[in-house]
Structure 1
Amino acid sequence: MSVSAPYVQPRAGGPDAWAQEAAQHGQTGTQLLREVTELEPSADVAAMLNLQPGETAIVRRRTMLLNSQPVELTDSYYPASIARGTRLAEPQKVLGGAVALLAGLGYTPRHAGEDISARPPNDEERQLLQLPSDEWVLVLSRVLRTDAGLPVEASTMTMLARGRHLHYALSL
Structure 2
Amino acid sequence: MTTMSEQTTDQRPLHERVAADLRHEILSGIVLPGAALLTAELRERFATSSATVARALHILREERLVTSCANMANKAPDSVVIEHRQRTMQPARSLAPADPGQPFRWVTEARRRGVSANCVLLDVKPVPEPPAHVAQALGLNAGNPALLRSQLLTFDNEPAALVKAYFPLQIVHGTAMTEHRKIRGGTSTLLARLGYPPRRCVDSVSARIPTQEQHALLKLPPNVPVLRTFRVVYSDNDRPVEAHDTVEAGHLYELQYEFSQVL
Identity of aligned residues (%): 35
Separation of aligned partners in 2, 1:95 and 1:165: 26
For residue 114 of structure 2, the aligned residue among 6, 12, 26 is 26
- Bigger RCO (CA 8 Å, 6+ sep): 1
Q: 1:163, CA displacement in angstroms?
A: 4.0
Q: Which amino acid aligns with 2:234?
A: R
Kept in 1: contact 2:199–2:233 (CA 8 A): yes
Match of 1:103 in 2: 192
SS at match of 2:177: helix
| TM-score when normalising by structure 1 | 0.95
For structure 2, the 5+ residue unaligned runs are: 1-87
For structure 1, the 5+ residue unaligned runs are: none
What root-mean-square deviation, in Å, do the aligned CA atoms of Structure 1 and Structure 2 show?
Answer: 1.3
1:97-119 per-position Cα deviation (integer Å, ceiling 9, x unaligned): 21111111111110100000111
1:27-66 per-position Cα deviation (integer Å, ceiling 9, x unaligned): 2100110000000210011111011112110111000011
Q: Which amino acid aligns with 1:35?
A: D
- Range 95-104 or range 35-44, more displaced: 95-104
> Rg larger in 1 or in 2?
2
Q: 1:26, CA displacement in angstroms?
A: 1.8
Alignment length, in residue pairs? 172
Separation of aligned partners in 2, 1:52 and 1:6: 31
SS at match of 1:165: strand
| TM-score when normalising by structure 2 | 0.63
SS at match of 2:123: strand
Separation of aligned partners in 1, 2:152 and 2:178: 17
- Range 10-19 or range 24-33, more displaced: 10-19
